[in-house]
Amino acid sequence: MKSRKSMKPLFAAATSVALVLGMSLTAAPANANNYVIGVSNGWAGNSWRETMVCAIKAEATLSKKVSKVLVSSRNTDAAGQSADVRAFISQKVNAIIINPGDKDAINPALGEAIKAGIKVIAVDGPVSAPGAYIVSNDQKKYGAAGAEALAKAMNYKGNVLYMRGISGHPADTLRDEGFKSVMAKYKNMKVTKEVFTNWDWAKGGELAKQLLKPGKFQGVWTSGIDYPVVEAMKTNLRGKYIPLVGADNNEFLRQTKELASKGFVGIVVSNPAVIGGAGLKVALDVLDGKTVASESLLTPTAWTYKANKKEIDSSYFVGQEATFSSAVKIPGYTTFSPAQLFRCKAPQDSDDGARA
């Protein structure tokens, strides 16, 4: 009994705190230079995704149009992301940037948001909710760009080890379409082995060590699990490198640079994590009433050290970790410098003076 009595003032205090908090949130002004942006990321602890969120924060700070970026970054599924979206609706955000874990399953929540006048921008992957904007790398062209460069590096003949991502994942399916459309053009090239790495570094490395045998393949295409495959070439092929398609991972850029003199041809296909910044740019354009296409697709580039020495040299960051997505700018979309990106500060915790 006693404890119940003592709970009363505590409860009252908690209620009033909640009320004040609620009021301050609902009072968030929605005028043109004070937007509140909600970000839902369903995969925490992943370098690429962290950079994506940092890009949103950095671009928001520089835009001077955003007062707050609210981030929900956790390991969750469509149900969890739907809960995030609904929380953002009750917090009266102006726009939601979401990296969707599912194309369809989050639609009911996104529909509620759109109905409430909130702009929804899906980055990296699509959602099918009507009225949502999509900002994504063109995954079909991603598959094709790497394949085209690989074909050239292999002199349009030989056997390819084809290392995909996750079976059934939308991006993997699109990349596969692009890859196979190029392979079909070259009669002397053949995919003799197709495996899934599940975008897992250790599994990708293990598969490469199990499959790479001297003379069996003349080239390898990976869906971004690249640098362990180079290690496997060192052990299995005793340094007789064959061309390899990877992504803009920092360590792969280093290998592409440093092993070029030993005959290694690394093909770096861009899959920029800073696409989050492009998502923010689109969100602001929509909020400002500009006409924006419902789908913005970025065209990936395929670099080799021979042809793009300058780009690769300037994209490699010595002090960044191996899986860091090295493409740190998207022309026409992002404006931050690498240093501003690395600081990873949102307007509300920034000392850039953006809100001054």
Choice from 236, 304, 326, 334 touching other proteins (CB under 8 A): 236
Q: Tell me how far, at minimum, the Cβ of 32 lies from other proteins, in Å.
A: 32
Q: Return d(Cα 240, Cα 215) in angstroms, integer.
A: 10
Q: Tell me how far, at minimum, the Cβ of 314 lies from other proteins, in Å.
A: 17
Q: Tell me how far, at minimum, the Cβ of 74 lies from other proteins, in Å.
A: 10
Would you give the binding string for other proteins spanning residues 320-339, x where CB under 8 A is met? xxxx----------------
Choice from 47, 91, 173, 181 touching other proteins (CB under 8 A): 47
**Overall residue count recorded for the chain in this entry:** 356
Amino acid making up residue 290: K
Q: Return d(Cα 136, Cα 186) in angstroms, integer.
A: 28
Determine, following the binding rule CB under 8 A, whether residue 103 of this chain makes contact with other proteins: no
Which residue's structure tokens are 């392979």?
183
Q: Return d(Cα 179, Cα 190) in angstroms, integer.
A: 12
Q: Is 63:334 a contact under the CB 8 Å cutoff?
A: no
Determine, following the binding rule CB under 8 A, whether residue 138 of this chain makes contact with other proteins: no
Determine, following the binding rule CB under 8 A, whether residue 319 of this chain makes contact with other proteins: yes
185 vs 262, which CB is nearer to other proteins?
A: 262
Q: Return d(Cα 327, Cα 253) in angstroms, integer.
A: 10
Q: Return d(Cα 319, Cα 311) in angstroms, integer.
A: 18
Strand-pair category, 119-123 with 66-73: unpaired
Q: Is 121:132 a contact under the CB 8 Å cutoff?
A: yes
Q: Tell me how far, at minimum, the Cβ of 212 lies from other proteins, in Å.
A: 9
Contacting range for other proteins; rule: CB under 8 A; set: 62-70, 131-139, 292-300, 312-320: 312-320
Residue 63 Rama label (left phi>0; alpha psi -120 to 50; beta): alpha
Determine, following the binding rule CB under 8 A, whether residue 240 of this chain makes contact with other proteins: no
133 vs 196, which CB is nearer to other proteins?
A: 196
State the residues that interact with other proteins by CB under 8 A. Answer: 44-47, 50, 54, 167, 193-196, 198, 200-203, 205-207, 209-211, 213, 227-228, 230-231, 234-236, 250-251, 254-255, 318-323, 342, 344
